[in-house]
């Protein structure tokens, strides 16, 4: 991959524009929160810090694809581009709403080594002199965690509302607004279906078959991370449905590769680079493609007793990891990733009529980032 200085410059300009839009959305809501008291204001202030500290992967993909697809010089081009930026920012709010509710569901207080919103609310509640109002802590020993997780649910709701508000307010012709609203509805349903599958797998409600796990990965992450920005860019730039369809297929392959890579990195990657606890998936008993494969091999009886044990010590965890690699699970999942990337490139080559060259370059650039990814 060659990143030219003009690519770098335009990506940094895009980041600035997206950040500006998000900052406007969140500042207005933080101001509107003030009359409701300090706790409600804190919720918005912390959410703002979290949202604005992101890498804007999804809005950048939308805007780069949009800029690649749109025909310059059309009337109202600048107005239309501003609308695209507002939709891109809305997609970042959606991402954060999903993350927050996922953190509530998983009971997580940390993300990438730092307190998430819930962890920050918990810390702030602990900072109240005497631990909340006097005597409360004895009656409600878990009350601070409950309070913090409630904040996570409620902020997720407000960010989900904010996402829809941006889609609804976009000053677009009615058919285009409906096309985008259909896309948003489909995306949310599919992501929620994926989240439900993931939780059902973890809770032992749904059988952890490889096929189910692969479907879940696609629904839970690929749809909103890759398909949504690509399809929104197509719709906003006035692309034909066939173009949107090709972009969606390409996005699905990249998205699945990305999610599988995430699982591989979490288990076999270098924690100094990805920043996560290298054994948390094993300790939590996360049902990944790695585990689904291992379960079908003769190595499983040696792995199973350690899987999903929170108290797993490093020495034993390292041994489990070695067995997962030796039984072929690591190379099997790497093979799945390679297959997705092969299909992606095959699709790009065959869809020359559907995906214009500039947009193909955005996707090739993204695939190259995935291929070299260590975190």
Q: Which of residues 37-76 bind its own copies (CB under 8 A)?
A: 37, 39-40, 43
DSSP one-letter string for 175-224: HHHHHHHHHHHHHHHHHHHHHHHHHHHHTTSS---HHHHHHHHIIIIIII
Residues 183, 222: Cα–Cα separation, whole Å: 14
- Write the interaction track for its own copies spanning residues 9-38; mark x where CB under 8 A is met and - where it is not: --------------------x--xx--xx-
Q: Are 293 and 210 in contact (CB under 8 A)?
A: yes
Look up tokens 């990965």; give the residue.
Answer: 217
Residues 34, 214: Cα–Cα separation, whole Å: 44
Sign of the dihedral defined by the CA atoms of residues 100, 119, 47, 148, in that order: positive
Closest CB to its own copies among 3 and 32? 32
Closest CB to its own copies among 201 and 257? 201
* Least Å from the CB of residue 16 to its own copies: 26
Q: Is 207 in the site for its own copies (CB under 8 A)?
A: yes
Q: Are 257 and 370 in contact (CB under 8 A)?
A: yes
* Least Å from the CB of residue 325 to its own copies: 24
Closest CB to its own copies among 207 and 314? 207
Q: Which of 70, 111, 144, 286 binds its own copies (CB under 8 A)?
A: 144
Q: Is 79 in the site for its own copies (CB under 8 A)?
A: no
Q: Which of 200, 271, 302, 328 binds its own copies (CB under 8 A)?
A: 200
10: its two tokens: 């335009």
111, containing H or E segment: strand 110-111
361, containing H or E segment: helix 357-371
Residues 178, 192: Cα–Cα separation, whole Å: 21
318: its two tokens: 């390292």
Q: Which of 13, 49, 171, 240 binds its own copies (CB under 8 A)?
A: 171
Residues 198, 205: Cα–Cα separation, whole Å: 10
Q: Is 295 in the site for its own copies (CB under 8 A)?
A: no
- Strands (E) across the chain are located at 110-111, 114-115
Look up tokens 């996360």; give the residue.
Answer: 286
Angle at 126 between CA 112 and CA 116, to 5 degrees: 15
Stretch that binds its own copies, among 46-54, 187-195, 238-246, 291-299 (CB under 8 A): 187-195
* Least Å from the CB of residue 132 to its own copies: 4
Q: Which of 189, 242, 331, 352 binds its own copies (CB under 8 A)?
A: 189
Q: Is 285 in the site for its own copies (CB under 8 A)?
A: yes
Residues 97, 148: Cα–Cα separation, whole Å: 15
Closest CB to its own copies among 103 and 243? 103
Q: Is 342 in the site for its own copies (CB under 8 A)?
A: no
Closest CB to its own copies among 279 and 344? 279
Q: Which of residues 111-140 bind its own copies (CB under 8 A)?
A: 125, 128, 132-133, 135-137, 139-140
Closest CB to its own copies among 48 and 285? 285
Binding site for its own copies (CB under 8 A): 29, 32-33, 36-37, 39-40, 43, 97, 101, 104-105, 125, 128, 132-133, 135-137, 139-140, 143-144, 146-147, 150-151, 153-154, 156-158, 160-161, 164-165, 167-169, 171, 174, 177-178, 181, 184-185, 188-190, 192-193, 195-197, 199-200, 202-208, 219, 285, 308
């Amino acid at each position: 991959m060659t990143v030219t200085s003009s690519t770098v410059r335009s990506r940094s300009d895009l980041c600035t524009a997206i950040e500006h839009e998000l900052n406007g959305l969140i500042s207005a809501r933080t101001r509107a929160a003030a009359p409701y008291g300090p706790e409600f204001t804190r919720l918005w202030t912390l959410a703002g810090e979290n949202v604005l500290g992101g890498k804007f992967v999804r809005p950048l993909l939308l805007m780069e694809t949009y800029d690649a697809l749109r025909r310059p010089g059309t009337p109202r081009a600048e107005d239309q581009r501003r609308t695209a930026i507002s939709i891109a920012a809305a997609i970042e709010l959606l991402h954060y709403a999903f993350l927050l509710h996922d953190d509530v569901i998983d009971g997580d207080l940390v993300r990438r080594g730092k307190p998430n919103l819930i962890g920050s609310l918990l810390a702030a509640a602990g900072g109240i002199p005497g631990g909340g109002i006097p005597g409360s802590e004895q009656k409600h020993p878990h009350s601070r965690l409950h309070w913090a997780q409630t904040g996570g649910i409620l902020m997720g709701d407000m960010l989900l509302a904010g996402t829809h508000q941006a889609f609804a307010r976009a000053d677009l012709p009615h058919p285009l607004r409906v096309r985008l609203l259909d896309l948003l509805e489909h995306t949310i349903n599919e992501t929620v279906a994926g989240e439900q599958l993931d939780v059902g797998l973890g809770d032992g409600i749904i059988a952890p078959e490889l096929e189910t796990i692969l479907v879940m990965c696609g629904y839970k992450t690929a749809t909103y991370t890759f398909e949504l920005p690509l399809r929104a860019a197509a719709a906003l730039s006035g692309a034909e449905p066939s173009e949107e369809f090709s972009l969606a297929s390409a996005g699905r392959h990249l998205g699945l590769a990305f999610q599988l890579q995430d699982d591989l990195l979490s288990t076999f990657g270098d924690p100094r680079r990805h920043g996560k606890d290298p054994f948390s998936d094993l300790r939590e008993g996360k049902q990944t493609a790695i585990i689904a494969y291992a379960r079908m091999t003769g190595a499983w009886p040696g792995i199973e007793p350690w899987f999903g044990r929170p108290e797993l010590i490093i020495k034993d965890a390292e041994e489990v990891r070695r067995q997962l690699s030796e039984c072929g699970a690591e190379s099997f999942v790497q093979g799945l990733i390679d297959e997705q990337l092969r299909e992606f490139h095959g699709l790009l080559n065959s869809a020359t009529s559907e995906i214009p060259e500039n947009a193909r370059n955005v996707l090739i650039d993204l695939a190259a980032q995935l291929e070299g990814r260590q975190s």
